[in-house]
Amino acid sequence: MAEVLEGWWLRFSKPLSREIIIFVLLMKLGFVYILCCSDGTYYTGSTIDLDKRIKEHQSGFGANHTKKRLPVELVYFEKFQDIKEAFHREKQIQGWSRKKKEALIRENCDALPILSQRKKKD
């Protein structure tokens, strides 16, 4: 990701305004991802550089949860036009049950509404 952005302004024939440069730099792509850890637990995170972040997790420089449960495997990700959207989605997925996360990983979108229903207490 950093390689794509580096020197991007040099591709334009006219100078870009400061506002445009700031806007483009702030509108970084975002990713939300789910890792499966060695103990079978899931870790959900968000980042602007998915490849770099996965390497950090795999080398033990990621979150505390993953560094204690190596190796980890990327099992799901989504791409967003803005990191803020990815962060919001991360928080949404983190609140889900294991079964709902597994339905998302399997891309079983039909099961998501069913798994979202709260169980009635007797």
10 Å Cβ neighbour count for 60?
Answer: 12
Task: Note whether residue 38 is domain-resident.
Answer: yes
* Residue 5 to residue 71: CA distance in whole angstroms: 30
The pTM for the full model equals 0.73
Q: Does 62 reside within a domain?
A: yes
In a domain, 3, yes or no: no
- What is the domain-level CATH number for residue 100? 3.40.1440.10
Number of domains in the chain: 1
Query: Is 61 buried (19+), middle (13-18) or exposed (0-12) by CB count in 10 A?
Result: exposed
User: For the sheet containing 72-80, what is the strand order?
Assistant: 42-47, 30-37, 72-80
Averaged over successive runs of 10 residues, the pLDDT of the chain (122 residues) comes to 48 62 69 96 94 93 91 95 92 94 89 73 55
For residue 53, being part of any structural domain is answered with yes
Whether 104 is in a domain gets the answer yes
Q: Does 4 map to a domain?
A: no
**For 12-31, b where at least 16 C-beta lie within 10 A, e where not — what string?**
eeeeeeeeeeeeeeeebbbb
Q: pLDDT at position 23, please?
A: 64
Strands 72-80 and 30-37: antiparallel
Residue 41 lies in a domain: yes
| pLDDT attached to residue 118 | 65
Mean pLDDT (the chain) is 83
> How many C-alpha atoms does 41 have within 13 Å on its Cβ side?
10
pLDDT for 98-115, tens place per residue?
999 999 999 887 877 888
Q: What span, in angstroms and rounded, lies between the C-alpha atoms of 100 and 25? A: 34
